[in-house]
Amino acid sequence: DQQVKQNSPSLSVQEGRISILNCDYTNSMFDYFLWYKKYPAEGPTFLISISSIKDKNEDGRFTVFLNKSAKHLSLHIVPSQPGDSAVYFCAASGYYGGSQGNLIFGKGTKLSVKP
């Protein structure tokens, strides 16, 4: 059973507009959340993170929002640029049971930003 879910496999946005990527999780023990960006032939690149004590974290064009009660987080990219076109992975971690604090990843959302 997936603990981290990205229900939209793909998203298409016009350049300059906002991109909103969503992620849901089921494990209430998760306390640290991250977003990674991945191009096809490369490894994932860390974008931004948020701990469960916060509900928002901002870094330049990227903002992550965390809604703990809904077990939902989102990544906002404003303004979107063609170079943002990639697959975005949501990941979560926490110390519980045998987790060892390891990251659990979603399946990713492919973002296409059109000029």
Min dist. Cβ of residue 20 to another protein (A): 20
What are the angstrom distances between the C-alpha of 15 and each of 26, 69, 70, 80? 33, 32, 30, 5
- Annotate each residue in 4-43 with x if it binds another protein (CB under 8 A) or - if it does not, as one string: x----x---------------------xx-x-x----xxx
Q: Which two tokens stand for residue 68?
A: 């703990």
Distance CA 110, CA 31 (A): 25
Closer of 9 and 16 to another protein (Cβ): 9
Q: Which two tokens stand for residue 113?
A: 């930003």
Min dist. Cβ of residue 17 to another protein (A): 25
Distance CA 75, CA 49 (A): 10
Min dist. Cβ of residue 38 to another protein (A): 9
User: Which range binds another protein by CB under 8 A, 15-23, 67-75, 76-84, 91-99?
Assistant: 91-99
| Contacting residues toward another protein, per CB under 8 A | 2, 4, 9, 31-32, 34, 36, 41-46, 49, 51, 89, 93-95, 99-108
